[in-house]
Amino acid sequence: MKLRCAIIDDEPLAVELMESYVRRTPFLQLGGSFGSGITAFEALRSEPVDLLFCDIQMPELNGVELTRMLPSETRVIFTTAFSRYAVEGFRVNAVDYLLKPISYADFLAAAEKALSWFELRARAQAAEGSAEQPADSTPTAETPRSIIVRSEHRLLQIDLDSILYIEGLKDYVKIHTGDSPRPVLSLMSLKTLEEQLPTDRFIRVHRSYIVQPAKIRAIERNRIIFGKEYIPIADNYREAFFAFLSAHALFR
């Protein structure tokens, strides 16, 4: 897999250095270099790239603001001389954060992290396509459907079949699975994750909880029981939840 990338930095020497790093990296293809966020904006809107190496502190339009305006398919690696921007970078779901001066080893590690993300996404999409094939077709392989999330600076692929429930905590979510005693913690909103989940398998039962009904073993007094954990069923979600159970022949 090759990733088409672009570089944005208001320091010409920094642009030259990053261009040399891209040329040394076999799986990267340079799609353009820009000296400011303003000049890059129109070009990247009309010709998006897979990966963007972007300085944060730039005049007129900084890197974080620019990232929010670009297509969601473009992944970003921030480059900056100021470590205080790290948290803000990860809030916009950056792949990585490189602190200047940037060595080629650090550049390559970040680029490989981005490559892994795209490869995982491609496998997940292939699995979904396989699951959607007509009944009379013969799939080449049966792959579980999954989601990809960032957790502790890593990209993790989680099988949907393993998920019991998901808990929302402000800017974070906890993904509780049946094959691990510890939940997966990821920096994203519950709404963002909900949009990635198939509606025929997952349903929200509370402003802070999404469950997979097929994994439910017991319901007691408007609470769903998962082992020692009790998930409340909020009044405004109750009717839709029990209608889902009935439609899927669960807990009739």
pLDDT tens-digit profile of 39-90? 888 888 888 899 999 988 887 777 888 877 887 788 889 888 876 554 454 4
Closest by CA position to 82, among listed 111, 56, 109, 110: 56
pLDDT value of position 18: 96
Residue 38: what are its φ and ψ, rounded to 5°?
-65, -50
pLDDT digits (tens, 9 = 90+) for 94-144: 788 888 899 999 999 999 988 988 888 787 777 666 555 555 544 444 444
Residue type, 8: I
Helix (H) or strand (E) holding 150: strand 146-151
pLDDT value of position 129: 63
pLDDT value of position 131: 57
Spatial contact of 215 and 204, defined as CB atoms under 8 Å apart:
no
CA Rg value for the chain: 21
Closest by CA position to 107, among listed 22, 169, 23, 178: 22
Residue type, 47: E
pLDDT value of position 141: 43
- Average pLDDT, rounded, for the chain: 83
Beta bridge partners of 6: 32, 52
Q: Which residue has the higher pLDDT, 127 or 251?
A: 127
**Whether the predicted pLDDT of 210 surpasses 50:** yes
Q: Which residue has the higher pLDDT, 198 or 210?
A: 210
The phi-psi region of residue 221 (left if phi > 0; otherwise alpha if psi is between -120 and 50; otherwise beta) is left
pLDDT value of position 249: 63
pLDDT value of position 89: 46
pLDDT grade for 151, boundaries at 50, 70 and 90: confident
pLDDT value of position 135: 52
pTM confidence score: 0.53
* Cα 88–chain centre separation: 16
